[in-house]
Chain A
Amino acid sequence: MDRALSWLLGGRRALASHLLLAPASLWLIFLLVIPAGGLILLSFAKNGPYGAIVWEFGLQNYARAFDPKYLPVLIRTIMFAGATTVLCLILGYPVAYFLTFRAGRWRNALLVGLMVPFWSSCLVAYYSWMIVLGKEGLLNTALIRFGFLSEPIGFLYTPFAILLGLVYFYLPFTVLPLYASLDKVPRSVIEAAYDLGAGRWTAFWKVTLPLSTPGVVAGCILTFIPCLGDFLTVEILGGPRYYLLGNLISNQFMMAQDWPFGSALTSLLLAGLVGGLWLYQRWEKA
């Protein structure tokens, strides 16, 4: 028994590696690969009466996805996800920088602190924002009390609220890879830049920033791709007036009962994911 286990752990034969990885890969295959494959297969089927599935294959669902009717949804989604990514990057980079270079003893505590809103479930977070942004909520009350407003503004159910919610939720997705990457930047290189006479800003711009590019790319991908599929933010903070791809997909599987079309849309999302993954792998190796 000891010998068999030792052989497994030794890893001198590739088979041992594959066997050890087998449980994890089984999971991935059954719960990730096969479902994804199933979705792609379903995306070519037709939707029958009352949502029954008709196995006649064709590209009609994909044609529909790019129909001018639905194109605004795709565009809107990309714009929201893009804006979120950019905002997270701009807002998050200084935080990552601070954590890496300035935080010192507080670094871990701050990291943990940064994570808490992220881990506390999007629902709780968005619900809290509802309380703050409502017409009778904290923000309006404060603005009126301090004389900036005479009447409450409807912050809720606007693109502003949606963007706020998205940035709030996805910020850690950006900050953490940035931090990981900045942490790896050898201080010696930055010191060398100073020794060569560079000012703080130049050193940052020409040395630190370029060296943190893998983190930037990783952060962007980890923010943009999941953000493309987001539907909860719009549902809770948006109305849902500003239908995004995630809402559309969710709708096909819930209300509209058009699983083939929903699968086609999801497949498009998966294509985006594969693209992102490929980019991520390339930059990881770099």
Chain B
Amino acid sequence: MTKKKRGMGVYVAGLFGFLYLPLFVMFIFSFNDARRNVVWRGFTLKWYKALLHDTELMQAMLTSLELAAAAAAIAAVLGMLASYAMVKHKPFRGRGAYDALLNVPLMMPEVALGVGILTFLVRAGYELDFTALACSHALICLPYTVAAVRARLISLQESSLEDAAMDLGATEWQAFTKVTLPLSMPAIISGALLSFTVSFQDFVTSFFVAGIGIVTMPIKIYSMMKFGVTPEINALSVCLLLATFTLIGLNAAFADRPDEASRH
């Protein structure tokens, strides 16, 4: 019995090794003092220094951050409203359709989405600018915020705190602002952080929808790869990884906050 347990643990460890090995290698070689990144020649920080001096790159980073913030904010608001209606309201006609539709961005091949939005915007004469890209990202992030908030709302529902508040004389609006909203804050933030991450690392949709001058981090990495592979790309990728790690970690912290409602 213990052998089987250990076997499975070993397997999972191996799989995690498979997942992290390339990233680890990339990390190590970002310090390699050689242009052609194959033989270890010595430790250096020069690629990271080059990153800092690369203004185009810093611009791309800034763009990605702004984009992600905008997308996360929009998705959080939309998601909050949508999941409130789906969870708290009594079943209404068309709810199934909304449900299905909200799942679509998750399942949709990004190339179809990117191409569709590109075609639509171009033929409608709309310029492919920051706003367009931010809105497209918000669409992709929507399922994540909806899922995050929805799970929370459902568990809150079970503890009937809102109902208790209303029994005590509060209106729906008061119950919402004083009970529901504060208690679902961790979930909203968690959803927002997930959205931020999704938007930050998104490539395919940005590739098709981004106009000139909108260069996000992944797009910059892609063009750097096309021009030729140097350790600078490693350094950049490591930065992207670190950012992701931080965001996921933050998200985990928020998602795991003790449920005040469930303590009762």
A residues lining the B interface (CB < 8 Å): 2-3, 5-7, 9-12, 14, 16-18, 20-21, 23-25, 27-28, 31-36, 38-39, 42, 91, 94-95, 97-98, 102, 108-110, 112-117, 119-125, 127-132, 134, 136-138, 141, 168, 171, 200, 221-222, 225-226, 228-232, 236, 246, 249-250, 253, 259, 262-263, 266, 269-270, 273, 276-277, 280-281
Contacts and interface: CB of A to CB of B under 8 A. Distances in A.
B252 interface: yes
17 contacts: A3-B171, A12-B90, A21-B98, A25-B98, A32-B108, A35-B113, A36-B112, A112-B248, A119-B201, A123-B203, A124-B26, A128-B23, A128-B25, A225-B109, A226-B108, A229-B110, A277-B104
Contacts of B202: 121
Contacts of B108: 32, 225-226, 270, 273
Nearest to B1: A200
Interface stretch (B41-49, B50-58, B116-124, B152-160): B116-124
- Chain B interface, DSSP helix/strand/loop, else mixed: helix
Contacts of B96: 281
A39 B8 contact: no
Given A17-B92, A27-B139, A110-B16, 9 more contacts: A11-B85, A18-B94, A24-B102, A102-B5, A108-B256, A123-B225, A253-B115, A263-B119, A269-B109
Given A95-B12, A97-B8, A32 B225 contact: no
B127 interface: no
Given A24-B102, A32-B104, A277-B104, A226 B138 contact: no
Contact of A9 (B102, B173, B201, B217): B173
Interface of B: 1, 4-5, 8-9, 11-12, 15-16, 18-23, 25-26, 29, 37-39, 74, 77-79, 81-82, 84-86, 88-90, 92-96, 98, 100-113, 115-120, 123, 135-136, 138-139, 142, 146, 171-176, 197-198, 200-204, 208, 217-218, 221-222, 225, 229, 233-234, 237, 240-241, 244-245, 247-249, 252, 256
B88 A31 contact: no
B142 A27 contact: yes
Contact of B102 (A28, A119, A171, A228): A28
A116 B23 CA distance: 10
A191 B77 CA distance: 43
A236 to B, nearest CB: 7
B139 A28 contact: yes
Contacts of B85: 11, 16-18, 20-21
A110 B77 CA distance: 30
Contacts of B8: 94, 97-98, 102
A280 B111 contact: no
A145 B125 CA distance: 59
B90 A11 contact: yes
B84 to A, nearest CB: 6
